[in-house]
Amino acid sequence: MHQPIPADIDIARHASMLPIGEIAARLGIPDSALEPHGRVKAKISLDLYRGLRAGPQGKLVLVTAITPTPAGEGKTTTTIGLTDALARLGKKAMLCIREPSLGPCFGIKGGAAGGGYAQVVPMEDINLHFTGDFHAIGVAHNLLSAVIDNHLASGNALDIDPARVVWRRVVDMNDRALRQIVVGLGGSANGAPRETGYDITVASEVMAVFCLSESIHELKERLGRMIVAYTRDRRPVLASQLKVHGAMAALLKDAIKPNLVQTLENNPALVHGGPFANIAHGCNSLIATRMALGLADYVVTEAGFGADLGAEKFLDIMCRQSGLVPDAVVLVATVRALKMHGGVAKADLGRPDAEAVRRGLPNLLKHLENIQAWGLPVVVAVNHFTADTPEETAAIEEACAALGVKAVRADHWARGGEGALDLAGALLELTGGPRPALAFTYPGELPLWEKVRTVARRIYGASDIKGDAKVLKAFADLEAAGFGHLPVCLAKTQYSFSTDPQLRGRPEGFTLAVRDVRVSAGAGFVVVLTGDIMTMPGLPKVPAAELIDIDEEGNITGLS
């Protein structure tokens, strides 16, 4: 597909990394604020963070993508390549991305530290444990789980209904056998039997809370607000009533410090936090992004999945809560993915077919319309594959031009920052003016049900939404309980604007069925479920773990 270049891990292993202290020094981070983790990773202290808030702030660039297909889009490689290109143009640039989840590394997916010549390194470390943040988040979550069952077994003073414990357990592993389990078997010394289950750590509300908190104080407050269960008379039970939100925050004391690493071209990267982009907001930690804005002139960050999910949540949840506003958006597309949106099967993607690209373009154009409706300047990055023809690329350029948007071919995967110089140039043009005025999709005071309808109509292009009486009652209950002012976080398949993953392109005339709703009171949003959302992945028949190995010198093979 791409021209032949070495495997990601081979490129990464032969990277000439600078000592992390040198990367930090270039950013003006004092040595006292740096907590090295080995030679090429470091955490940055929150003291520095507090100081930076008062100083000048860089420009924020949000990288998002068209609706994902199995062809791949390359959002993370674009984030990295663009940062390297901005640095080549003399800008003080850095990037912020999410930490990879460990579980999927052993399943199908492989790592999440970029690829080709657009990677953050050390990729083995970033993909395997990194600085331990996700384990810390998992343990904080599971401490609360253990305390809930302990409370049930020790007199249940809060009158928790054992059948209405909504707080599950988490582990950073793809382990389908844990999706639904019964705990507390083996007699009363082990508590009472109760049905529950595990989610993967990135699905934990602790992860979302962690990524939205700007101080330890706020972290504790948000952790305390999380709803863990309901009483027999249906009153919510908060984590604070179990009195371990302080201990949970203590467990997160190091995790909350952003992680500094570097790109293959030795530019700084903060890799920190990583909530799901369906049941949560899907961005790296707010602390990391804000810290970067205080350190660099240009900060490139990315949102999860396609722009309908990730960018919408980035803007309507994260920016709303924090006051951040991106200065520009990069929408990543590929010729191959557009062909799939145009109806071509994966096996046939190698054949030149500008007409198929044109048929797929409505997907891209709808995303562009959405971004423009948010009031944000946008450029399209056409992430280049060797087999792409000039006619195919031209089809994209023409269609974008009709909306006044530039589409720029980018070749960072094969050529690093040099391959994204045009994209960086276009971005600099785009961000020359004053900060744009961000128009949220909906106002905060709109009722929850209307918020969902607005997102579905304006962002997804649905005709309307629907829900049965039980769902409508659940919305009404949340309004009555005082959660009506919160933004909504729609969990929907990432493979379509609609809820049907087979409907590529720009589906129209569909009605979005709302299946369930619940509140993430600590994170500060209402999660709206529109289908079965998998919060605990499984392993494939032959897991990637079988290929992973290590030699006596500590070199890892088989990690992709």
Subset of residues 125 to 164 that bind a second copy, contact rule: CB under 8 A: 125, 128-129, 131-132, 135-136, 138-139, 142-143, 145-147, 149-150, 153-155
CB of 40 to a second copy, least distance (A): 10
Q: Which residues contact 38 (CB under 8 A, 6 or more apart)?
A: 125
- The residue with tokens 């929150």 is 46
Nearer to a second copy, 91 or 245 (CB): 245
Using an 8 Å Cβ cutoff, are 325 and 435 in contact? yes
DSSP for 42-59 reads EEE-HHHHHHHTTS---E
Q: How many Cα atoms within 13 Å fall on the side-chain side of residue 302?
A: 32
Binding segment for a second copy (CB under 8 A), chosen from 78-86, 123-131, 319-327, 340-348, is 123-131
364-423 positions binding a second copy, by CB under 8 A: none
Cα separation of 270 and 287, whole Å?
10
104 forms part of the interface with a second copy (CB under 8 A)? no
Q: Per CB under 8 A, does 112 bind a second copy?
A: no
> Helix or strand or coil: residue 513?
strand
Annotation marks residue 77 as catalytic: yes
Does residue 385 have an active-site annotation? yes
What is the biggest distance separating any 2 CA atoms in the chain, rounded to whole angstroms? 72
Nearest-CA neighbor of 279 among 520, 80, 23? 520
Closest distance of CB 91 from a second copy, Å: 31
Which of 495, 525, 521, 549 is CA-nearest to residue 314? Answer: 525
Q: Per the residue annotation, which of 109, 358, 457, 515 is the catalytic one?
A: 109
Question: Which residues are registered as beta bridge partners of 557?
Answer: 549
Stretch that binds a second copy, among 57-65, 213-221, 315-323, 367-375 (CB under 8 A): 213-221
Select 153 or 325, whichever has its Cβ closest to a second copy. 153
For residue 417, what are the contacts with CB-CB under 8 A and spacing of at least 6? 81, 83, 84, 85, 87, 88, 118, 263, 265, 267, 424
Rank residues 45 and 372 by Cβ distance to a second copy and give the closer one: 45
Which residue, 217 or 435, has its beta carbon nearer to a second copy?
A: 217
Catalytically annotated residue among 167, 385, 483, 497: 385
**CA proximity to 447, closest of 480, 469, 470:** 480
The CA–CA distances, whole Å, from 491 to 201, 276, 313 equal 17, 10, 10
Distance separating alpha carbons of residues 292 and 58, to the nearest angstrom: 8
Q: x/- binding map, residues 450-479, to a second copy, per CB under 8 A?
A: ------------------------------
Among the listed ranges 124-132, 232-240, 419-427, 495-503, the one in contact with a second copy (CB under 8 A) is 124-132
- Run of H or E residues at 365: helix 354-373
In the list 253, 435, 466, 485, the residue contacting a second copy (rule: CB under 8 A) is 253
C-alpha span between 507 and 283 (Å, rounded): 26
Q: Which is nearer to a second copy, 476 or 545 (CB)?
A: 545
> Is 74 annotated among the ligand-binding residues?
yes
Catalytic annotation, pick one of 59, 98, 225, 290: 98
Q: Is-catalytic flag, 374?
A: no
Is 334 part of any known ligand binding site?
no
The footprint of a second copy on residues 165-204 (CB under 8 A) is: 171-186, 189-191, 194-195, 197
Out of 8, 29, 76, 106, the only residue in the binding site for a second copy (CB under 8 A) is 106
Active site residue 276: no
Check if 176 is active-site: no
The answer to whether the CB of 335 falls within 8 A of the CB of 392 is yes
State the nearest-atom distance from the C-beta of 246 to a second copy, in Å. Answer: 4
CB atoms within 10 A of CB 179: 15
Residue 496 tokens, joined: 């379509």
CA distances from 531 to 222, 501, 507 (A): 27, 11, 17
Q: Does 352 bind a second copy (CB under 8 A)?
A: no
CB neighbours of residue 377 within 10 Å: 20
For 194, the 3-state DSSP assignment is strand
70 is an annotated ligand-binding site residue: yes
Size of interface with a second copy, in residues (CB under 8 A): 79
76 is in an annotated binding site: yes
Q: Which of 163, 250, 394, 481 binds a second copy (CB under 8 A)?
A: 250
Q: Is 269 annotated as a binding residue?
A: no
79 is catalytic: no
Contact positions with a second copy (CB under 8 A) in 15-54: 35-39, 43, 46
Tell the smallest beta-carbon distance from residue 548 to a second copy (Å).
Answer: 4
**387 tagged catalytic:** no
Structure tokens at 353: 């077919």
Per CB under 8 A, the list member of 30, 246, 432, 482 interacting with a second copy is 246
Binding of residue 14 to a second copy (CB under 8 A): no
The question of whether 305 is a catalytic residue gets the answer yes
Residue 268 has φ and ψ, to the nearest 5°, of -70, 145
Does 395 show up as a binding residue in the annotation? no
- Write out the binding residues: 69-76
Catalytic amino acids?
Answer: 75, 77, 98, 109, 277, 305, 385, 413
- Write out the binding residues for ATP: 69-76
